[in-house]
Structure 1
Amino acid sequence: MPGVLSENLLGGRLCLQLLPRAPYSARDPAQSQTLGVTLERQQGVHAIDSDRRTDFDTWPGVLAYTPVGVEVFSESASGGEYLLMLLDEQFASEQLPSVAHRVQSCGNRRALTIAREIRRQLLATQPDLLALEQCAVALVDVAGSITDTTQRATPKAFARVMEQIAEQFQHPLTLEQLAATYGHNELRFLRDFTQAIGLTPHAYLIEVRLQAARRLIERTALPLASIALDVGFAHQSHMGSAFRKYLAMTPSQYRSRF
């Protein structure tokens, strides 16, 4: 399994880290100004600048800004892929609002799109530093407009949809099936899901299948054609197209690297 992938940018003023899905338990006051974007659903318990621990269920598309000194405890039995950016104090003070608490924005489509492109570049054998720097600065720009300081409540119906996808991603799923689980018509479900996650239901399903395929490639010697079918892709070339589009490499190249 790949470990943390990192890259220093803008003369060391920024550091990008791609944290892999893995169990973790950590408590630290932020030593740097940090931005984070969830790339994968993650569940666990956390405490933000407090001793009060609460359960969390974080979906992709959550952009969080944590200033220096805010203590964050977080623990998860499985973790989830996460993009972290560390900013030096001067750069952050010039580009980000001055806050004394953690601020976050949910369903941030632009942040998620940028974070996925950063992931694509960090996974590449030779990252394009100019492209990475442009993406990093664009993400800082998005973070500069964060105003929501609270996580929107997760509707129970949405939680049921997420569980349905997690349990059935290997099988064909229709908008009608997912909307029925949500309890509203297809148009309402499509609009609400996309707004909450920052991805359409189909794009989210492809991301879940992609993550599952990555883990099987990293941890098993199964043939790629078998992995493709096991995680719900129609065939190996369908999986290959997803890998090239979102990770900038073929499944074979991914296996060779990781």
Structure 2
Amino acid sequence: GFTCTNPGYAWRLLSNSVCLKLDSPKRQWFYRGLEPGVHYLPIKEDFSNLVETLQYLIKHDDYAYQIAMQGREWAKKNLVDEELLHYYCSQVLLKYASLQTFKPKLTSEEIKTISSNSEYAKLKNIRPFNPHGFFSKDNAVALSFLINKFQCKTVVELGSWLGSSTRYIATCLPEGGLIYAIDHWKGNEEHYDPNRTAINALLPTLYEQFLSNCIHTKLTHKIIPKRMTSLYAAEVLTIKADLIMIGSGIKRQIKVIRFKTQ
């Protein structure tokens, strides 16, 4: 298929099929690193070589397969967020799991871990993993640097959504490290915009989805959810934090938040 946008471009390269791209000097940032004839096949702007290229691919299936696989591996490495890739893999597994004649059960060790935190134990139904979030790779680089530089063991996060940043921080913490995820899990005013239908659909089960995501990634021993507003948490919690992560929707409350820090 032809591509013009980043998401569509990534998924076409991942499709196990040869990707054709217009041979144009105009390039967007996500085309950097690609090589014609290696990751994709170039097509002239006037499409004059399109039919010839397709005929060649039909006659040389091994070559087509080679280009497709090289493009797929490049996209996996450079264009696809790891959590998003895991999400789509999980959907495939869930589809096959639905064909089973019995309901999959958690292992005794997983049950023990979940039961150690009452919030996870209260969850009646574990929802399929959902990677939705607003956490960027730039955020990840900055947080990893800070956690390592200051050897953080206790982190407080104000605003967690479905836990993309929460889970990343948890993986950066040493064994025995904890992150306190503070959120009311009701969303902000902007999330209730009727035009944002994808966001609206998440709101009724935000907290349940957050807990489920933590269970799926086996990070319940590091993530302590606190379902409350940031202002209330500042009044009642006595957490001594090495690092405080503040979500974008919490910034207007910063002046009245008072956490103890080392």
Which bracket does the TM-score occupy, shorter chain normalised? Answer: under 0.3
Instruction: Tell me the TM-score normalized by structure 2.
Output: 0.23
Instruction: Tell me the TM-score normalized by structure 1.
Output: 0.24
Counting strand residues as a fraction of each chain, which structure ranks higher? Answer: 1
Decide which structure has the larger Cα Rg and report it. Answer: 2
